[in-house]
Amino acid sequence: EAGVAQSPRYKIIEKRQSVAFWCNPISGHATLYWYQQILGQGPKLLIQFQNNGVVDDSQLPKDRFSAERLKGVDSTLKIQPAKLEDSAVYLCASSLLVGSPLHFGNGTRLTVT
């Protein structure tokens, strides 16, 4: 099966600019996750969708981060405006059901200068 697709692979922006990441999960996977991974740390969950509804966004900095899942399939994560501390790899993952193992994409590496 095709894996989780993410784009772009790399992005460099200046602080205060905006940026968007795109994720296409594995076909048929109902649950979608966005994680942030800062260099040297484990991934941290930002938001979890079940179909097109938000299940958990408790760690999403909502003043600057937003995410949506279009028609319960693709998802976009946006940062506006970006800060230096947002430099990280943004990972998208999907699972068939809540509780199933997660399948991760290879992430988007964001550098904010």
Judged by CB under 8 A, does residue 16 bind another protein?
Answer: no
Distance set, CA 46 to CA 2, 34, 43, 57, 89 (Å): 24, 6, 9, 6, 12
Judged by CB under 8 A, does residue 53 bind another protein?
Answer: no
Q: Which residues lie across from 11 on neighbouring strands?
A: 110
Under a CB-based contact definition with an 8 Å cutoff, are residues 90 and 21 in contact? yes
Binder among 25, 105, 110, 112 for another protein (CB under 8 A): 105
CB of 25 to another protein, least distance (A): 12
Judged by CB under 8 A, does residue 102 bind another protein?
Answer: yes
CB nearer to another protein: give 28 or 101: 101
As a whole number of angstroms, the distance between CA 20 and CA 77 comes to: 6
Judged by CB under 8 A, does residue 25 bind another protein?
Answer: no
Q: Which of 104, 77, 101 is nearest to 22 (CA)?
A: 77
CB of 74 to another protein, least distance (A): 17
**Residues at the site binding another protein, with contacts judged by CB under 8 A:** 4, 31, 33, 41-45, 48, 55-56, 91, 93, 98-99, 101-107
